Structures are given as C-alpha cells and as structure tokens.
Chain A
Amino acid sequence: MSRTDRLSLAHLWVAIIAFGVAAAMAFMQALSRASLDLPWRSAKMYYLSVTAHGVLMALVFTTFFIMAFGYVVVSRALERTPSVPGLAWAGFWTALAGTLAAVVTILAGKASVLYTFYPPLQAHPAFYIGLTLVIVGSWCWATVMLLSYRAWRREHQGTAMPLAMHGMMATVIVWLIATVGVAAEVLLQLIPWSLGWTKTVDPVLARMLFWYFGHPLVYFWLLPAYVIWYTVLPRVAGGRLFSDPLARLVFVLFVLLSTPVGFHHQFMDPGVSAGWKLLHTFLTMGILFPSFVTAFTVTASMEVAGRMQGATGLLDWLGKLPWRDPLFSSVALSMILFAFGGIGGAINASFGMNAVVHNTAWIQGHFHLTVGSAAALTFMGASYWLLPRLTGRELELALLARVQPYLWFMGMLLFSFSNHITGLMGMPRRIYDAAYGDAAAAHAWRGLTEVSAAGGLLLFASAAFFILVMVGTALAGKRREPEPVLWAEPLHPPAPQRTLLDRYGLWTVVAVILVLIAYAYPLLTHLHMVRFGSPGFKPY
C-alpha cells in the first residue's frame, strides 16, 4: 500500500466510525419522536444525542470523507503524491484531536447546543476549540490540495486539469471562502465568551457569520458527490461522461454562487432587513441552475452507458444499467432522492413561502434528502468502490452491500416524506416529544411520527449493513491485486487545452466580489447599529 493510500484510508476510517456512531444516535431520536417510552429515554439524552448526531454527521463524517477523497483524486487523477505529506498528516491529527475533544464534551453533557450552536446557548470551551481544530485540520488539507495542484500545473502548462481535480478545486475554494465566517464567529465571539473573557455576544451577528458558512457548507458536502457522479459513475455504469465542459461550468458556478446566499437561512430573523434577504433569494435561485445541468448530464451519461450495452428503445437503457453494483445503485438512488430535495430547497428559498416551513419538521425532511442522501448515500457507495482499491481486499459481505443502498432509499422515503408532511402541519423540528400537552393540532401528526420512526429503523439497518461491510472487508476481505481507479472518459474528448473554465484564480476573485456585494454592506451596517449583547445560558 502506498503512503498516500494510507493517508486516504486513515481519513476514510474516521469518517466511517463517525458515521456509525451518529447513525445509532439517530435511531434513538426517531423512536423518541414517536413517543416510544424506552428505558433510556430522557430529554437530556435526546438533545445531547441530536447534538452528537449533527456534529458527527454534518461536520466529521463529511469532512473526513471529503479529505480522503481529495487525496485519492490527487494520487489517481493528478497521478502524484500530495505535496507536503507532513502537513497532510498534521491536518489529519489536528482534525482528529478536535473531533475527540468536541465529542467527549458533548457526551459529557457539557455541550448540548446542537450542531448549529446558536448563542446565547453556551457550550463548554472545549466544544468550540475542538470544532476549531477540525476546521484547522481541514485547512491543512486544503493547502495540500492547492500545493499539489500547483506542482502538477508547473509540469503541465496549458493542459486542461483532470475533471475530478477540477471539481475538488471547486470544493477547496468553496470551503476556504466559507470557513472564514465560522472562524470569525468562533474565534472572535464564542471562544472568548465561553472562557469568560467577554461577558456577552450579539446573537444575530453570530447567526450571520454562521450562515455565511452554513450554506456553502452544503456545497462542500455536495461538490465531491457531484465529482463522483461525473467522473466515477459513468465508468462504473459502462459508459462515458456526456459533457465534460458543462461539468466544468457547473463547478465554476458553484464557486461563484455558494456563499452569497446565506440570508435565506435567516428569513425569519429579526435584525436583518428584507431587502438584503431578497438579494440573497435571487442568488439562491441562481444556484438551482448548475444542479439542473447536473441532473441532465449525469442522467444522459447513464443513458449513454445503457446504449453502449446494446439498448435501442426509449427507456430500455435503464434496464441495462448495473443496478446490482453498490456504487451505481447508491448514486442513482441518491439522485432520485436529491431531485425531491432540490424541489424542496426551491420552496425553502422562496422568501414568503419559507414562513410556512421554517424550523418545522419539513426542514429535517429536506436536508436528509440533500446531505443525508445526495451526499451520504453517494459517499457510502463510493466507499464500496474505494476500499477494495485502496486496501487490495475484495468487498466482503457483498450481498449486504448490494441491498444496503435500496434499504437506505426506502428508509429515507418513509422518514423524509413523513417529516415533510408533519412539517407542513406545523410540527417543529428538534423536539424530544411531539405531544404538546395533548393539543388538538398535535394529534394530527401522531401517526406520521411513527412512519418516520419506521423509516429511521430501515435507515439504521442500512447504516449497520454499511459498517459491517466496511469492517468485514478490512478484516476478512480476500487479498488480491487492487483494481486501478479509472475515471470516466468524456463522450466527446475535451480540448486538451486549458480553457477559461480552468482558471480558478480568476473565478475565486469573482466569487469574493460577489460575497462582498452580498455581505459587506449588511455586515457593516449591522456593526454600526446600537446593539446589546447577551450573556450565556446552559439550559441543558
């Protein structure tokens, strides 16, 4: 095994373990919402576990998987060792130490502030410091990715960069722009305040900084999934990528539009005027466009694959696709779920309509289709594809791997759809119990919370299958010569030259200008307003 693969595997295993722990906690939560009185059930345990679930899934599982995948792209698409391996390992250990600090603090009951950690809810300083270290670790990764690209570019002047690297560059740039916000929130506001160095914080300022980070965070999760859809899926399906230049256009559009949209998470906030929320609405709707293009290009690539296997009719290419391959089925099913997630996202972003769904169960239904399916299911599928190629071991328990994506799909349909409906009926998200003193309104959503719990059971079984396959493969998979990592060939070979779409320096400048237009004035006005800070509270 090469040193780079060892680096990728270290990251991948942290992601897998975080995912397993978080999935177990989610199951408890789904049962609690359905008011099933299990012996360990208490409000304290519930909110503690929601915090752990959010942090481990949204921040740890995703970030570590994406770092692992980034190193795979450097070693297999740029075909070089990541620059400064020492920095890469330093990033790994820093992020791991941060994860452990944050998780221990949460499990000790000292940080039940959920993964959004809105002040003036106050956590133990170790929670904020731990999360900061995770981000610092990811910055080491981002630096290694950029240096590796620069080293490759020096040797390949004028050549188009491999598409997988193009997508990962977008991921890195989005992440670097986004994390400025959360770094400012945590370093300037929350850490000094939790240590008692400052007495108060301004919660609306914190929310602005958090959501400056929080929405591009979504694209940080999604972009590597798109890289897999564009550059791995067509090959696994036995076909070609339908359009290489459009994929590059999509990645560039995400760099431009990911960040200047954060106010759409604050539609219901006081202290932010409606005009700025409207500007962010317009930009948010713009970001639908690259996902529409992706839906076409990836589906067309699947059709190309089906036709290359001999399909001739209107839809018989669907039957020619390798539905038994866990990478293929994971991605295909995650795309179907993401289509619903995208439509829901357009509704969430619709300015006035948001009032009907804001902070209801609809939202948790929504993001389990996006990060919980488009990203997580794709990452699981990609792990089945990646682990044998990195370890040189055959996938163990292949039957479980084959069933697992379908189980996730069914579980997610039950979970997500029931939560969308109860959300429309007005049930809030993140509640330990949905009874509300037997209120009439709460009666209506009763049966649906049980459907949601049934979905949770299927999702938990699916997650358990995934963990079993991963652990089984690592411990007992048959050793053999590892298969090479092969990227999808485009249907029409791209011009080998570097085009405007490869000039990320330029696009980063445009992205920063858009961020300044969307954020500089509202932030400055906010800072000049007469504001009163809030002391901290620990009601958990």
Chain B
Amino acid sequence: MNVPLYEKLWMWAAGVLIVAFLAMIAVGVAGSALQPPSHVETIDPTKIWNDPRFVRRGVTLDEHGATVVVVGMMFAFMPAEIRVPAGRRVTFRVTSADVTHGFQIVGTNGNTMIVPGYVSQFTTVFREPGEYLIVCNEYCGLGHHLMSAKLIVEEARP
C-alpha cells in the first residue's frame, strides 16, 4: 500500500500515542495495583437480610483500617451515615436488596456498580477528612435521584 509520507508520520505518531496510553495503564496496574472494582463473589439476592455477610451493616475497625458493609436498596443506602478514619485503608463491601444500583463517593474515585446477586468490593484510602456525599449513579426507579448517603472521614486517632 502506497501511503504518503505525512500520513505515514501521523500513523506512527498515533501508534506511539496509543502505546504510551497503554504503558501508563500498565504502570498503574503493576506499580500501584490500580484496578477497577472487580471482585467476584455471589450471594442470593432474595436472602441478603439473613446472610451472615450482610447481617451486621456499618463500619468495623481493625488494625489496618476499616471494613464497611453496605446494602443498596430502592431508594436508600443502609447505613445512611458512615464514619471512617482518614489515611487508613477502607474496604467497602456492598450488595443490592433489589435492582442494580451505583455507589459513588462524590469527589473521590470511590465508584462501583451494585448488582443484585453479587458482592461489590473495593479498597481505598481517604486522605482528606470531611463530609462526602454518596450517590446512586445507576437508574433504579422513580426515586433514583433521592438515593444518597453521607460519608464522614474523621481525623485518625493517634
């Protein structure tokens, strides 16, 4: 195929750019274990209220940080207020009592789908103490825009 010089240069530049994008992603994955929430764990969505994994909802502190167990339902999160320490590893474990929801902590990169029948899990660190808004970002019915909760990040006690 006869490709004119300028277009050849452009195609090489495009190729280099794409490789650079991929390299950045690879560095993020290999260097910082940066990856989207991809936990694979199933649960019977009709029995979550009796499932030992979701009977106790809310925050459990341990030596590494905190685990937060949350249920998303039409049109609220349980619990509606979550308190976690700043600068520590916080692991969220979330499932749905009914339809598909979203769990997004506004102003951070905390974001996951909540799909019934599955347990979503991700770990993050909040460096800035303060009050954050948690919203549902997947359409779940007429009250979708009302579905929110509060995350309070507190200064870690020494």
A interface residues with partner B (beta carbon < 8 Å): 43-44, 47, 50, 114, 118-121, 202-204, 207, 242-243, 245-246, 249, 266-274, 277-278, 281-282, 285-286, 288-289, 292-293, 296-297, 300, 346, 350-352, 354-356, 358-360, 425-434, 436-437, 439-442, 492, 529-535, 537, 539-540
Smallest CB separation, A63 vs chain B (Å): 23
User: What is the bound-complex CA distance between A270 and B116, given in angstroms?
Assistant: 10
Q: Are A271 and B11 in contact (CB under 8 A)?
A: no
Point out the residues of chain B lying under 8 angstroms from A442, CB to CB: 133
Q: Are B42 and A539 in contact (CB under 8 A)?
A: no
Please encode chain B, from 24 to 42, with 1 for each CB lying within 8 Å of some chain A CB and 0 for all others: 1100110000111111111
Point out the residues of chain A lying under 8 angstroms from B148, CB to CB: 436-437, 439
Q: Are A539 and B99 in contact (CB under 8 A)?
A: yes
B25 CB contact (under 8 Å) in A269, A350, A529, A539 = A350
CB within 8 Å for A292 and B11 given contacts A243-B4, A355-B111, A537-B141: yes
CB within 8 Å for A428 and B104 given contacts A292-B10, A351-B35, A537-B98: yes
Smallest CB separation, B14 vs chain A (Å): 4
Point out the residues of chain A lying under 8 angstroms from B144, CB to CB: 47, 430-432
Q: Does B22 contact A (CB under 8 A)?
A: yes
A272 CB contact (under 8 Å) in B6, B40, B131 = B40
Q: Are A434 and B115 in contact (CB under 8 A)?
A: no
Point out the residues of chain B lying under 8 angstroms from A300, CB to CB: 6-7
Q: Are B25 and A351 in contact (CB under 8 A)?
A: yes
Interface centre among B3, B6, B110, B139 (most CB of A within 10 A): B139
Q: Are A534 and B25 in contact (CB under 8 A)?
A: no
User: What is the bound-complex CA distance between A297 and B135, given in angstroms?
Assistant: 44
Point out the residues of chain B lying under 8 angstroms from A281, CB to CB: 22, 25
10 shortest A-B CB distances, which residue pairs? A539-B141, A426-B106, A292-B14, A359-B137, A428-B137, A274-B38, A431-B145, A267-B36, A352-B34, A270-B120
Interface centre among B40, B106, B120 (most CB of A within 10 A): B106
Q: Which residue of A lies closest to B109 (CB)?
A: A355
Q: Does B18 contact A (CB under 8 A)?
A: yes
User: What is the bound-complex CA distance between A63 and B107, given in angstroms?
Assistant: 38
Q: Are A426 and B133 in contact (CB under 8 A)?
A: yes
Q: Are B145 and A434 in contact (CB under 8 A)?
A: yes
